[in-house]
Amino acid sequence: MTAPARLSIASEYAALLVQFDTWMFDCDGVLWHGDRLIPGVIEVLALLRKNDKKVVFVTNNATKSRRSYKGKFDALGVEAHVDEIFGSAYAAAVYLSSVAQLPKDKKVYVIGQAGLEEELHEEGIAFLGGTDPADALPFDAASFTPDPNVGAVVCGLDTAISYAKYSKAFTYLSTNPDCLFVATNEDSTYPSAHGLLPGAGAISAPLRYALGRDPVCTGKPAKVMLDCVKAKVNYDPKRTIMVGDRLNTDILFGKAGGLATLLVLTGITQEAEINGPGASHIVPDYVTQSLADLRAAA
Ligand SMILES: [Mg+2]
């Protein structure tokens, strides 16, 4: 197993800038932690744009639509355009409409938040559940009438997850073998500004356990996500680099797509996972402490 190249001197960062035309970024743990920007990130993105690099943001965050995610960039003072942003909620909606071709008369039962609902709406997909306050109440099986038009269950991060939502999703999936089961992503944890919290993968886990069935996942590292990027952004994989903080999502995603990969150590993945006896089998091409280190290339 080849070790990743550890970047440290200005000429190495400058060489990277020459070598890659398209820069794909994960966001949480790379650009920011929750609502705290990582210092130096704005300068690096500005440097890339000044050098005519294409910049793409690929996030597994399923709570926000691309449009509301753009609001987060704005609030933190980071330049970004909606067509540069790809989220797992968007990927789930595109998967349902374009890949699975969910019939127009079918609906989706949603475990998730407003961002996921917005992306489904944009793709012309009808849905129920989600932010409906009725689903936050205790579940009453006697008064639940399943909607016969539900043809899919989509599960993303849901901070108002309830037994009622699990019970409804479970009923749709267990009583109809044709009902599609889609998860926005499998992230076990979510890096909030106040530390790690359960991620979208932890939200779908009880359903997988109850059903004995695995969902189709649309976020990183799934190919569906890269297909969504490909449909909108013209890039040469040989001249594209994926920057991320998580080996089993970001780095795996980049490798699966034939892209170069750069791991930053400002997020989930720790030094011990890339060095020594406990090292992961997923090896990035390059490693640097922080995205901010690329300022040395200026
Ligand atoms: Mg991340």
250 is in an annotated binding site: no
Write the CB contacts of 96 (distance below 8 Å, at least 6 apart in sequence).
102, 108, 120, 123, 125, 152, 154, 180, 182
State residue 251's pLDDT score.
Answer: 97
For residue 93, what is the enclosing H or E element? helix 88-94
State residue 271's pLDDT score.
Answer: 87
Write the CB contacts of 83 (distance below 8 Å, at least 6 apart in sequence).
232
The Cα–Cα gap between 287 and 148 comes to: 51
The Cα–Cα gap between 182 and 179 comes to: 10
Q: How far is the CA of 254 from the centre of ligand 1 (A)?
A: 13
State residue 1's pLDDT score.
Answer: 59
Do 123 and 234 belong to one domain? no
pTM of the model: 0.89
List the structure tokens of 141: 């099986």
Residue 71 domain-assigned?
no
Our count of domains for the chain comes to 2
Q: How far is the CA of 294 from the centre of ligand 1 (A)?
A: 18
Pair 288, 262: CB distance under 8 Å: yes
Q: How far is the CA of 106 from the centre of ligand 1 (A)?
A: 33
Q: How far is the CA of 190 from the centre of ligand 1 (A)?
A: 8
Angle formed by the axes of helices 66-76 and 114-122, to 10°?
Answer: 130
State residue 272's pLDDT score.
Answer: 86
Q: How far is the CA of 187 from the centre of ligand 1 (A)?
A: 10
State residue 3's pLDDT score.
Answer: 85
CA 179 to chain centre: 23
Do 188 and 232 belong to one domain? no
- Domain extent for 24: 5-60+221-297
Residue 74 domain-assigned?
no
28 is in an annotated binding site: yes
Q: Which residues are catalytic?
A: 26, 28
The Cα–Cα gap between 216 and 204 comes to: 11
Write the pLDDT tens digit of every residue in 255-275.
999 999 999 999 999 888 998
Tell which of 182, 217, 252 closes a domain.
217
Tell which of 187, 217, 247 closes a domain.
217
Q: Which residues of the chain have pLDDT under 70?
A: 1
Do 211 and 135 belong to one domain? yes
Do 102 and 196 belong to one domain? yes
Residue 276 domain-assigned?
yes
Tell which of 217, 238, 253 closes a domain.
217
Do 151 and 205 belong to one domain? yes
Write the CB contacts of 287 (distance below 8 Å, at least 6 apart in sequence).
4, 5, 6, 7, 262, 263, 264, 265, 274
Identify any residues that bridge with 150 across adjacent strands, giving them in sequence order: 107
26 is in an annotated binding site: yes
Do 271 and 181 belong to one domain? no
Do 177 and 136 belong to one domain? yes
Do 213 and 242 belong to one domain? no
135 is in an annotated binding site: no
Do 175 and 254 belong to one domain? no
